[in-house]
Structure 1
Amino acid sequence: MAETSIHRKSSGNRPNRTDKTNPSLPPPLSPRDLISALPDAVIDRIFSFLPLQDVVKTSVLSKRWRPTWTTATDLVFDGEIVARLRSTLDFSSLVDSVLIQCASPTVKRFHITSFEYEKAHRLKFDLWLRFAEGHRVEDLSLRLLLTSETPTLYILPRSLYCWSWLVRLEVWVYCFSLGRTIRLPCLKILVIAISRLSDDILEGIFRGCPVLESLELWGCWGVKNIMIDSTSVKELVLCNLCDSNIQKIWAPHLLLLRISGDWQPHAMLRLSDVSSLVEAKLDFSIRVLTDLPSDEMMCSHMLKETFQKLCGVTTITIGAWCFQVQARYFFTIL
C-alpha cells in the first residue's frame, strides 16, 4: 500500500507536456511581430549605422517600416557606393529624390561624399545646402572630387558662416570667400581639404569659432603663418601640404600636433611657440629635388630646431623619413 501511495503522488505532480494551456509558458511570437514591435527610437538607432541606400531597402521588411526611412536623421550619400550599385538614378538625382521625401524636421548628419563637382552643379549644390540649413544640420561633410587639372572650386555661401547650431564641418575642394564674417559659436571640429586659404581666413575662423577644439588642414594652400591664440583649440593636424608654404606655427595653447604627408621642397616649417604641447607626431617627408648635401643639411637643421621646440613634450612619434634624415646627419657630424 505504501508503494502505491508514493506512485500516485508522483504521478499527480508530473507536468503534462501535451497541455497547450499551461499558463507558465509565454505565447509564441512570430518574427513579424517582433519587428513590428520595435519602438521608433530603436529603429532610428539601427538606421543610423546603415548606409542610406540600405536604409531605404529596409522598407520591404515591414509595412510599418516603409515610411520610417523618410524620418532618418542621418543622411549620408556616398558617390562610390551609388556607382557600384549601378542605380538607375545618377548621384545628384538620388540625392534630390531622398531630400524631397525627407519628413524629419531636423537632420543631425548630412554628408555628400565622392561627388564630381563641376561649375554646372553650383545651383544644385546651393539647394542642398539650403536643405541642410533648413534642417539645422549639426554635422556637415561635403567631399567633392577633382574632375580636371584646373578644378572649379565651390565657393561656400555666406549663410554657412553663420550657422549657430553647426558642431562639425568638413569641406573638400572649396573656396572661402574673403571679407565674410564667420560666426560659428558651436563649431568644435573643422576639417578643410584641397582648398584655398589665407592667413586672414584662418584668423577669422579662430576669432569666429570660440569653442573650436580641432583643426585639420589636408592639401591646402595659401597659408604662410598659422597663428592660434584661441585657448579652445587643442589639436592641429597638417597633412599633405606639398603645395603649401607654411613657415611658422604659433600656438601656445595647443596640446596635440600632427604633421604628416608630403611637403614641398625647401620647406622651412618652424615651431615658434608650442609650449603647451603634450603630444606631437612628425611623420612627414620633404621631396628633395637634388642630391646636394646642402639640401639634406638644410632639412636636418630644420628638424633639429623642431626637436628643440619639442624637448618638453611627453609623447613624440617620429616617422621614417624624419628618423633617417636625423640619423644620417648624426653620423655625418661624428
Structure 2
Amino acid sequence: MCPICSKIYQSDTSKESIDDEDRISNLPGNVIDCILGKMPLRDAVRTSILSKKWRFYYLAIPQLVFDDQFCKEVNDFVAKKNHGIFSMFELNYQFNEIVTKYLMLHPRRIETFQVCFPRYLTSTMVPDGGSAVIDVNKWILYLSGRNINKLTLIYTGVLNYRHKLPSYFFSCLDLTFLKLQNFVILPPPKFKGFLNLYQLKLIRVDFANNCFESFLSGCPVLERLSLRRCSGVRHFNISGSKLKRLHIKAFDNFESISLENAPNLTEVTVTLERLVIGLEGGKLISDLVKLVGSLPKLKILCLKWKVSAAPN
C-alpha cells in the first residue's frame, strides 16, 4: 500500500469497523466506482474501514485523479512525518511512489488518469536534474496497456522545458480525451492516429519536425480542439469534418491560418498575443477576416490580437 494511504489506514484502524450491511454496500459496482471517483483520494482511502468488502475497494477506482488537492495532502503528510521540516527530496519521492504504486496495484481497467505535477518537482523531470526522477514514462507505459480513455498530464515546473512523450504513448489508441501541458509530440513513423479522440487540449506543447498537420489528420472524430502557446506550428491548416469548436491562443510564431476544410465549425476563438504589422501580421489579419465567409455553420467567432510595429 502506498505510504500516504498506509498512514491514513493505520490511523483509522483503531476505530470500530462497520460490518453490518448498509445501503451503500448494496449499490451496483459501477455506482460505487462513481461515488469513490468523485472523492478526494484521502477520503476514498478512508472508506476501507467501512467493512471487509470495502477494505480494498478504493484501489480499483477507474478514475485516478492526482490533482492540486492531492499534492497538498502529500505536502502535509511529509511535513508531519518530518516534524515540520520541509524536505524537497522527500516530497519528490513520496509523490512518485504514491502514483506509481497506485498504478501497479490497480486490478482493473483505468478509464481516467489525471496528474498535475506539483511545482516542487521543478528539477525532477529534467534530465540530470536530481536523484528523485518522476516515472512519467513508466506511468504512460502502464496506461498504454490499460485501454485508457481520458488522459491529463499537466507539468508546470521548469520554464521552457518540454518532456518528450515516449513512443508507447502513441499506443493509447482508446483515448477519447487528451490534455497535455509542457510536452513534446513526435509520433513514430507507423502511428496511424488516435481514431477515437473526441477532445484535445494542448498547452505549451511542441510539435517536433513539423508534425502538427499529420498528427491532427490522424484524429478523424475530433470535435473540440484547444491550442495554447504551442510551438512547431507554422501554418494552422485545420481540417476535420467533425470539428465543431476551435480555440487558438498563440504568439506570432505562425504564418497562416486556414479553416476551409472544417465546414462544421460552430465556435472559433483566435487570440494572437503579439502580432507584428509589416511582417506576416497583415496576411494573418486577412486570413482571420476570411474565416467569416468560409464557415457556413459558424455561430460564435471571437478574434483578438495585440499589434506592434515591425522593427526598422
Normalising by structure 2, report the TM-score.
0.72
Amino acid aligned to 1:67:
F
String of CA shifts for 1:294-325, please: whole Å, max 9, x gaps: 99xxxxxxxxxxxxxxxxxxxxxxxxxxxxxx
Higher relative contact order (Cα pairs below 8 Å, separated by 6+ residues):
2
Asked if 1:77 corresponds to 2:66, the answer is: yes
Asked if 1:164 corresponds to 2:173, the answer is: yes
Q: Secondary structure at the match of 1:165?
A: coil
Normalising by structure 1, report the TM-score.
0.68
String of CA shifts for 1:273-308, please: whole Å, max 9, x gaps: 53234222426341x457xxx99xxxxxxxxxxxxx
Q: Secondary structure at the match of 2:207?
A: coil
CA contact (8 A) 1:76 1:111 kept: yes
More deviation in 197-206 or 216-225? 197-206
Unpaired segments of 5 or more residues in structure 1?
A: 1-29, 296-334
Asked if 1:224 corresponds to 2:234, the answer is: yes
Separation (CA, whole Å) in 1 of partners of 2:260 and 2:23: 55
Asked if 1:257 corresponds to 2:277, the answer is: no
Number of matched residues? 258
- Give the equivalent residue in structure 2 for 1:93: 97
Alignment of 1:166-315 (within 5 A): 166-177=175-186, 180=189, 181-197=191-207, 200-239=210-249, 241-242=250-251, 244-252=253-261, 253-259=263-269, 263-266=273-276, 267=281, 268-269=284-285, 270-271=287-288, 272=290, 274-282=294-302, 284-286=304-306, 288-289=307-308
RMSD of aligned alpha carbons: 3.0
- Give the equivalent residue in structure 2 for 1:102: 106
Structure 1 residue 245: Cα displacement: 2.7
Which consecutive aligned stretches of 4+ in structure 1 deviate over 6 angstroms post-superposition?
none
Separation (CA, whole Å) in 2 of partners of 1:42 and 1:237: 34
CA contact (8 A) 1:182 1:209 kept: no
Separation (CA, whole Å) in 1 of partners of 2:235 and 2:269: 15
Structure 1 residue 73: Cα displacement: 0.4
Separation (CA, whole Å) in 2 of partners of 1:60 and 1:126: 34
String of CA shifts for 1:4-51, please: whole Å, max 9, x gaps: xxxxxxxxxxxxxxxxxxxxxxxxxx9863344334232112112223
Q: Secondary structure at the match of 1:119?
A: coil
**Which of the pair has more CA radius of gyration?**
1
Asked if 1:119 corresponds to 2:126, the answer is: yes
Separation (CA, whole Å) in 2 of partners of 1:230 and 1:122: 39
Amino acid aligned to 2:44:
V
- Give the equivalent residue in structure 2 for 1:309: none
CA contact (8 A) 1:70 1:101 kept: yes
Unpaired segments of 5 or more residues in structure 2?
A: 1-18, 79-90
CA contact (8 A) 1:220 1:244 kept: no
CA contact (8 A) 1:224 1:247 kept: yes
CA contact (8 A) 1:199 1:224 kept: no
**% same residue:** 22
Separation (CA, whole Å) in 2 of partners of 1:281 and 1:237: 10
